[in-house]
Amino acid sequence: MQEKSSAATYTDAQRQAEIENCTEGMEAIKAGEYEKAREYFEVLASNGNLTATLDLARLHLRNLVASPDPDYAITLLAGASASGMPDASDDLGQTYEAGAWRAQNFTRAFEFYRLSADQGSVSGAFNLGRCFLEGIGTPQHTANAMIWLGTAAHNDHSLACYWMGSLYSGGEYIDRDASMASNFYERGAALGHSYSQNKLGIMYRDGIGRDEDGEQAFSLFYLSAQSGNEWGQYLLGDMYKTGTHVEQNLEAAARFLTLSAEQGLVEAQVELGSMYGKGQGVPADRNKSIELYEAAAQQNSAVANFNLGIIYLNGDGVAQAIDTGAAYMRQAAHLGMQEAVDILEDLKTNYGIETEDIH
């Protein structure tokens, strides 16, 4: 079976015509009528409609039809890829990279991503850039990564915009350039990418790469939060809590931090735990505070472990328990918190509690 060919082409006109012919099948998918969609796509695929072939393969790979057949799906993708369809090549790359339905093979993943990118897929260009950046199936090559990630970003691939922004802001692979980072984050934010909105908002909030602008920061965090992004909810809640660039509103802060904490964000759990402990924006509730700190501590938050240690050592709203407090302090110390190390030394002196070598 031939899996790929660089000679075949797939034109925009062909794609558009095929999509129009697939309308009924797509409506069936939207309605959850997957068997009906399969029957519809099978007829079109047998007549050479590559869009239908791709959609039929995805129905099988996503277990949306009765008796899904991944081998059949891979055969469909391979045929569509060989016929020049970039999305099919990209799907094959993802299948080999993930080891889904085929043995994991990073070299084959890289080959299909390159084929997809050469066939004009924006997603393929992004995935090819990822491979070059992280050395997936090919030696790491920053320059090539920048070329392909940049290509995807300039073709409005929102995640590629975020990656390019992160490359310019991180300084790990290339020199830091806050202005370039903010430009890519802005492009991603305009495309609705919530993490790009967060990053651009932080740059406006702190005056990094952009003139400081609290209103812009607030607007971006709000957009991200409204989309359900846990970091956007946290950042917006933090603005309300501290009164940074906005009138302080502890009740609003608690609402947004609650939304973020419920999604498991450690930073939000710690902040909200503090607010319950102090009765800020919410009724004082030491049990709720401990519950939030414990959730964060289970995710290796040094601050949460430290705060729990303080609560039990002082008997703050709970029965004093020196051993329990010391255990939390040890964990905070192991996570790098010097203040916890100092407190453990005091516990050893004052209570004779043995501590491990945590320096």
Q: Which of 274, 299, 324 is the C-terminal boundary of a domain?
A: 299
The pLDDT of residue 3 is 40
Q: How far apart are CA 79 and CA 53, in angstroms?
A: 9
Q: Look at residue 282 and tell me if it is in a domain.
A: yes
Is residue 316 domain-shared with residue 257, that is, in the same domain? no
The pLDDT of residue 349 is 87
Q: Which residues lie below 8 Å from residue 292, measured CB to CB, with a gap of 6+? A: 261, 269, 270, 272, 273, 276
Q: Which two structure tokens, joined as six digits, stand for 70?
A: 């991944």
Is residue 259 domain-shared with residue 308, that is, in the same domain? no
Residue entry with tokens 């080891």:
99
Q: How far apart are CA 113 and CA 86, in angstroms?
A: 9
Is residue 282 domain-shared with residue 308, that is, in the same domain? no
Q: Look at residue 192 and tell me if it is in a domain.
A: no
Confidence of residue 9 (pLDDT cuts 50, 70, 90): confident
Selection from 264, 317, 318, 320 nearest residue 292 by Cα: 264
Q: How far apart are CA 234 and CA 54, in angstroms?
A: 39
Q: Is 335 helix (H, G, I), strand (E, B) or coil?
A: coil
Domains in the chain, number: 2
Q: Look at residue 316 and tell me if it is in a domain.
A: yes
Q: Which of 299, 320, 340 is the C-terminal boundary of a domain?
A: 299
Estimate to the nearest angstrom the gap between the alpha carbon of 254 and the chain centroid.
24
Estimate to the nearest angstrom the gap between the alpha carbon of 319 and the chain centroid.
40
Q: How far apart are CA 36 and CA 55, in angstroms?
A: 13
CATH number at residue 263: 1.25.40.10
The pLDDT of residue 339 is 96
Query: What predicted TM-score, i.e. pTM, was given to this entire model?
Result: 0.90
Cβ pair 289, 296 in contact under 8 A:
no
Cβ pair 329, 303 in contact under 8 A:
no
Confidence of residue 350 (pLDDT cuts 50, 70, 90): confident
Is residue 322 domain-shared with residue 335, that is, in the same domain? yes
Is residue 292 domain-shared with residue 352, that is, in the same domain? no
Q: Which two structure tokens, joined as six digits, stand for 132?
A: 């070059």
The pLDDT of residue 356 is 59
Q: Look at residue 259 and tell me if it is in a domain.
A: yes
Q: How far apart are CA 151 and CA 51, in angstroms?
A: 24
Alpha carbon distance, N-terminus to C-terminus of the chain: 61
Query: Would the pLDDT of 89 be above 70?
Result: yes
Domain that holds residue 238: 228-299
Q: How far apart are CA 127 and CA 108, in angstroms?
A: 13
Mean pLDDT of the 69-81 span: 97
Q: Look at residue 109 and tell me if it is in a domain.
A: no
DSSP state of 121: -
Q: Look at residue 338 and tell me if it is in a domain.
A: yes
Mean of pLDDT over the chain: 95
Selection from 252, 271, 251 nearest residue 261 by Cα: 271
Tens of pLDDT, residue by residue over 216-227, are: 999 999 999 999
Q: How far apart are CA 163 and CA 153, in angstroms?
A: 9
Q: How far apart are CA 92 and CA 248, in angstroms?
A: 51
Tens of pLDDT, residue by residue over 12-59, are: 999 999 999 999 999 999 999 999 999 999 999 999 999 999 999 999
